[in-house]
Structure 1
Amino acid sequence: MEKMRIAIAGISEMRWRGNGTTTTSSGNLVMHSGTKDGGRSGVGIYVSKQYKQALISWSPVSDRIIIARFRCKARHITIVQCYAPTEDASDDIKDDFYNALTSSLTRIERGYIKILMGDFNAKIGPKNNGLETIMGRHGVGTRSNNGDRLIDLCQTFQLVIGGIAFPHKEIHKYTWTSPNGHTRNQIDHICISRKWRRSLMDVRNRRSDHELIIGELLIKLRRNSNTVNRTTRRPPPINIQRLSESNLSTRMATTLREEMTTQPLNHSWEQTCSILRSTAEEMLGTRQRRRTDWTSAHTWELISKRNSLKSKADHDCRARDEHKELCKMVKKSARNDKRKLLDKLAENAESAANTNNMRSLYQIISQLTGSCHRRTQPVRDTEGRLLTGDEAQLQRWRQHFMEISCTEQPSSTQDNFRSIVPSHNLRVSPTAPSIREIKDAIRKLKRNKAAGDDGIPAELLQINTQLMAETLHPHFNNIWERKNRANNTR
C-alpha cells in the first residue's frame, strides 16, 4: 500500500479474528471485522498515516461488511467495504447479505458521499440499455445473478459503478484470474454516489494474482479539529476612507462628544469601545471584503454551455466529446482572463512606483504574491552561537529582558515568567499619564495599520485628540491604581 501510495484501501477475505483496529509499525491504521474463529471471510479498511486524522468513526457490521466515515471539505465520505457471497452460494445467503447491506446504506446520513466497494463476485457486462445513469459500456463478460443484485442496489441508492465507466484495455479491467490462468472475470467494483460521479477520475486494476482495483478520487479530506471554535469573530473593518469627506470628521467628533457626556464617569473600557464602534459604523460604515471578478463574459458563456452538457456526457458519445472540447476551451479562456488581470495589476504597480505611492505598490505586490507566513528566527546567545534547547532559549530570553529593564539578574532560575519581570522599572513613571501626554501619544500613532481585537483603528482616535485623551484618561488612572495596589500587597 505504501509503495503504491494508496490513501484508503478496502480488504476482502481478510480472515482476522474479531473486530478491532491495528496500527502498523509505520503508523498506518487497519480496521477489521470478522468472526470469532476467523474463517475465510472477514473485511477490513486500510488508512494511511497521512489520512488517519480525517477518520471520524468506523463500525463493524458483520464479517462481510464494515463502514468507515471520513471528514471531507466538500461533504463527509462514508466508505462501505464488503465481501459478497460467491455465485454458487444459496439464495438465502445472498438475500441475508444484501438485506444487511441495504440496511447499512439506509442508515448513512443524507448528504454524505457514499462509496461502496469490495469483492462482489458480480459480473456486470457491457450492456447498459436503460441503465446509462448507473453504469457505462466498458464491462467485461456476461451479467450474472450477483450482477443483477448489485445493479438493483445501485439503482435504489443512486450509485454509479465506476469500473465500467472508464475505457481501458481488457487486461486492465479483469479483477480475478483463475489459478490455471484461463478464466478471467471482472467481479470487484467501486461504486460512488451519482451526484459525485465527476469526482471519480479513474478506476482500473493493478495486476497481481488477485487483481487490485484502484479508484482515483479527487476530493480533499480534512483533519478532525480538536480546538474549540471561536464563538466571536473580529468585527469587520471600519471604512475610514470616508473620513476624507468634508465635514464628516467634524460631525462625527460632535456626535462622539455627545455620546461620551451621557455616560457615567466610572464607565468601563468595553462601554467606551462600544460607543466608538457603533458611532463609526453608523456614520462611516464598514468595509466589506470583495473578491475580484476577473472572469470574462465569454468564459462564463462557455461554462454554462459545458454545464448543460454535463448530464448528457455520461451516456452520449457525441455529447462526451463536445463536453471534453468545451472543458479545454473553458480552461484556455480562463487562463487568458487571468493573464489579463495580472497584466493590469503589473501596470498599476508600475504606475504606483512611478508616482511614489508605496502603499498601493505594496498592496498590489501582496495581492500578486499571496499570504506569506513569517518565519521564526532562531535564538542565539551573546556570542552568536545557536541555542537549540528549550531551557537555554528561556534563559537567553530572561537575560535579554533583564538587560533592557536595567536591573540585575536574579540568582535563581525560575520557570514562572513573573520572576523575570523586575519589581521596579525605572522607565515606567509611578504616576499615571496626564491628558497632554495621552494626547501626544495619540497624535504619534501610525495610520493605515490593522486594528486590534476591539476593531478601533488609529484614525478613529485621531478624529479629535483632545476628546479621546479626556476619554482615555480615567481608564489609565484605573490601571495605575490597580497596579499600585497590587505592588503594595506583595
Structure 2
Amino acid sequence: MPTRSSGAVQTEQVSLSVRPGEPTLVKKCQATKRYKNIQRTDLPTTTPAKHKRTRDLQLSTWNVRTLTQPGALQALVLELRHYKSNITAIQETRWIGNNVLDVSRFRVFASGNATQRIRGTGFIVDPLWSEKVIDWKPVSDRLCVLRIKGKFFNISIINVYAPTNERPDDEKDAFYSQLERTYDNCPRSDIKIVIGDINAQIGREKTFKPTIGSFSLHPKSNENGLRLITFAAAMNMRISSTYFQRRSSRKATWSPPGGGKKCQIDHILIDNRHASNILNVRSFRYTQADIEHHDSDHYAVGAKIRFRLSNIGRIRSTKQKKYDVTKLKNNRVKENFNARVEQQLKERNGELTIWQDCHIAMKQAAEECLGYHQPEKKEWFDDECKQAVQRLIEAKNMRTTRARTEEIKQLQRNKKNSLEERKENLTDSVLMILRSSSQ
C-alpha cells in the first residue's frame, strides 16, 4: 500500500496512508480531530505583519457640581487616575476667575465666573498629555478650549456647560451663538470635539439618523436636543454618544434628585471627517469621588479615541538648582568649604581666567560640601487624607444596605472633618511663621 512521501513532516509519530479516490492527506487531517497536530512544513511560512503603534486617548466629561470644598479636587484627581482618564472636561467647578495649577502631577485648567461662584468649566490633564498642550483659551464660565499637539492633526476640545431646558430662549440663543463663534475660531485643519454637559436629550428620530445614530436612551428629542442636532448638522458634526449600542445603564448620564427616570444629557460630538476615530463611548455609573459630601448626580462619560500623539515634546525650561548655603553657618562646614576652594584653585593653576577659575572652584566645592537645597513641600492633603477618601470609595463600591448607608454617612463626616482640620492646621502654621518673621 503506498505511503505518504517525506515531503510533509509529522509532529506526531503516526503512520498514514492514502488510497486511490480518497481526499488528500492535508484535507483528511483537517477534518479529523485525531490528526489536528500534523503540520505542513513544505509550505512557505509568513510572519504576522507588525501593527503601527498608536496611542488611544481616553477622553472624559463629568459635571462635578462643585470643587469648592476642601479636598474635593484632590479626591477627583485620585478617581480620574483610577479610571485612567487622560483628559477630563469638568463642569460646575464654581471657581472664581481663570486658573492653571498642578495637583499630583495633573494639570488643571479652570475657566470661571469673574465675581460669583457659579457655573465654571475646565480640564484636568494627566502628566503625559499635559506636555502636548499647545494652547488653552478660557472663553467664559460656560465655554473653554484646549488644544493638543498631534502627529498629523492637532485636536481642539471645546468644553461646554449649556443652559438647561427650562432657561429662557434668549440665554440659549446667546450660548449657541458663542459656541458657533468658538468653533469657527478653531483652526480648520484640527480635529474638533465638543464635549460636556449640554443638557440636551437626543431622540431616535430617523430623520436625524446621519447625525445622531440609532441608539439614544430617549425615543424623542426635547427642545435642547433639537438645538444640539441643528448645531451638529450645521457644523458637519456627529453626536457620537448616541452612535454606540449600549445597555441603558451605560447610556444614562444624569440621575434626577429623588430617584426619577435617568437621562442622557452629557454628550460628545466630533466632526464627520474624523468620526471613525472614536472607538467607544460609555458612561461610568459608579464614579465615587466625594463631591460636596456626596456623589455628583451626573455620571462620568468616557470616550476611547484613536489618536496619533506627536513625538515632539514641549521644551521645558530647566529650573536652576540652589545650593544649601544655610550649612555655612556651621563653622566646620565653612572651614571645609574654604579649604576645598583653595585646593581647587591650586589644582587649576591658572588654566583659564581668574574669574573662570574662581567660578569653577567655588561651584565644585559647593557641590561637594554644601549640596543642593531641597524645599519642603507643605502639602496638607497627606496620606491620612488619601486613606480617608479611599475608605469612603471602597464602602460605596459595596452593596448598598441600610447599615451600609449609615456607615457611608459616618465616613463622609470623618473625611470632611479630617480634610478641614488638616487645611486649618497648615493655614495656622503659615500665619505663625509670617507673624514671627514680621516681628
TM-score w.r.t. the length of structure 2 is 0.51
Aligned to 2:368: none
Given candidates 79, 83, 105, the residue that maps to 1:4 is 83
Per the alignment, residue 214 of structure 1 pairs with 302
Q: How does 1:60-459 map to 2 (within 5 A)?
A: 60-127=138-205, 129-141=206-218, 142-208=220-286, 209-222=297-310, 224-225=312-313, 412=347
Deviation, structure 1 residue 182? 2.2
Alignment of 1:457-476 (within 5 A): none
Alpha-carbon shift at residue 222 of structure 1 (Å): 2.0
Distance 1:92 1:223, change over 3 A: farther
**Structure 1 residue 183 displacement after superposition:** 1.8
Task: Give yes or no for contact 1:80–1:115 (8 Å, CA) kept in 2.
Answer: yes
> Contact 1:32 / 1:44 at 8 angstroms: preserved in 2?
yes
1:6 to 1:38, Cα distance in 2 relative to 1, 3 A: farther
Query: What corresponds to 2:363 in structure 1?
Result: none
The whole-number CA distance in structure 1 between the counterparts of 2:201 and 2:187 is 29
- Looking at structure 1, the residues matched to 101 and 156 of structure 2 have their Cα atoms a distance apart, in angstroms, of 20
Asked whether the equivalents of residues 74 and 220 of structure 1 are also in contact (C-alpha less than 8 Å), the reply is yes
The residue identity in structure 2 corresponding to 1:158 is: N
**Large movers: runs of 4+ above 4 Å:** 223-227, 413-417
What residue is the counterpart of 1:351 in the other structure?
none
Q: CA deviation at 1:37?
A: 3.0
**1:333 matched to which residue of 2?**
none
> CA–CA distance in 2 between the matches of 1:43 and 1:414?
63
Q: Is contact 1:74-1:219 (8 Å) kept?
A: no
Q: Is the 8 A contact 1:70 1:77 kept in 2?
A: yes
Q: Which runs of 5+ in 1 are unaligned?
A: 228-409, 418-490
CA contact under 8 A between 2:132 and 2:314: conserved in structure 1? no
AA aligned to 2:81 is: E
What SS class does the counterpart of residue 151 from structure 1 fall into?
helix
Partner-residue secondary structure (3-state), 1:217: strand
Residues 206 and 92 of structure 1: CA distance in aligned 2, closer, same or farther (over 3 Å) = same
Instruction: Quickly say closer, same or farther: Cα 1:226–1:13, change in 2 above 3 A.
Output: closer
Contact 2:119–2:142 (8 Å) recurs in 1 = yes
Q: 1:199 to 1:110 in 2, by over 3 A?
A: same
Cα distance between partner residues in 2 of 1:109 and 1:63 = 22
1:414–1:57 distance in 2 versus 1, CA, 3 Å:
farther
In the alignment, what sits opposite 2:99? 20
- 2 CA distance for matches of 1:226 and 1:85? 36
Hey, what's the Cα distance between the residues in 1 that align with 2:348 and 2:216?
A: 74
Q: Structure 1: how far apart are the matches of 2:137 and 2:147?
A: 9
What SS does the aligned partner of 1:149 have? helix
Shift of 1:226: 5.3
For residues 32-83 of structure 1, the C-alpha deviation after alignment (integer angstroms, 9 at most, x for no partner) is 1111234331111111111111100111111100001110112000000010
Q: Residues 183 and 223 (structure 1 numbering): CA distance in 2 closer, same or farther, change over 3 Å?
A: same
CA distance in structure 2 between the aligned counterparts of 1:75 and 1:415, rounded to whole angstroms? 56
Deviation of 1:192 (Å): 0.8
Distance 1:55 1:88 in 2: 36
Letter paired with 2:275 = R
User: Partner letter of residue 211 of structure 1?
Assistant: Y
SS in 2 for 1:168: coil
1:211-242 C-alpha deviation (Å, 9 max, x unpaired): 11001111022265457xxxxxxxxxxxxxxx
For residues 146 and 413 of structure 1, the distance between their equivalents in structure 2, rounded to whole angstroms, comes to 78
Contact 2:131/2:314 (8 A) holds in 1: no
1:411: Cα distance to partner? 7.4
Distance 2:247 2:241 in 1: 12
Separation in structure 1 between the aligned mates of residue 207 and residue 304 of structure 2, nearest angstrom: 27
**Residue identity matched to 1:222:** S
Gaps of 5+ in 2: 1-79, 287-296, 316-344, 353-439
**How big is the shift at 1:178?**
1.1
Deviation for aligned residue 1:109: 1.1
Residue of structure 1 in register with 2:426 after alignment:
none
Supply the distance in 2 between the matched residues of 1:414 and 1:78 (Cα, whole angstroms): 59
- Using CA pairs below 8 Å that are at least 6 residues apart, which structure has the higher relative contact order? 2
Q: AA paired with 1:33?
A: S
Partners of 2:350 and 2:299 in 1: how far apart? Answer: 60
Structure 1 residues 50, 226: closer, same or farther in 2, change over 3 A? closer
Distance in 2 (alpha carbons) for counterparts of 1:211 and 1:11: 11
Residues of 1 paired with 2:176 and 2:157: CA distance? 16
Specify whether residues 36 and 223 from structure 1 end up closer, same or farther in structure 2 by C-alpha distance, changes over 3 A only.
farther
Q: What displacement does 1:131 show?
A: 2.5
- 1:387 alignment counterpart: none
Q: Specify the SS of the correspondent of 1:86.
A: coil
Q: Contact 2:158–2:194 at 8 Å: present in 1 too?
A: yes
Distance 1:223 1:56, change over 3 A: farther
Alpha carbons 1:83, 1:119 under 8 Å: kept? yes
Aligned 8 A contact 1:10 1:118 in 2:
yes
User: 3-state DSSP class of the match of 1:132?
Assistant: helix
Indicate how the Cα distance of structure 1 residues 226 and 54 shifts in structure 2: closer, same or farther if over 3 A, else same.
closer
Summarize deviations over 1:332-365 as a string: whole Å, max 9, x none. Answer: xxxxxxxxxxxxxxxxxxxxxxxxxxxxxxxxxx
Preserved CA contact (<8 Å) 1:113 1:192: yes
The amino acid of 2:298's aligned partner reads H
Give the residue type in structure 2 aligned to 1:132.
K
1:31 aligns to 2:101 (yes or no): no
Secondary structure at the residue paired with 1:40?
coil
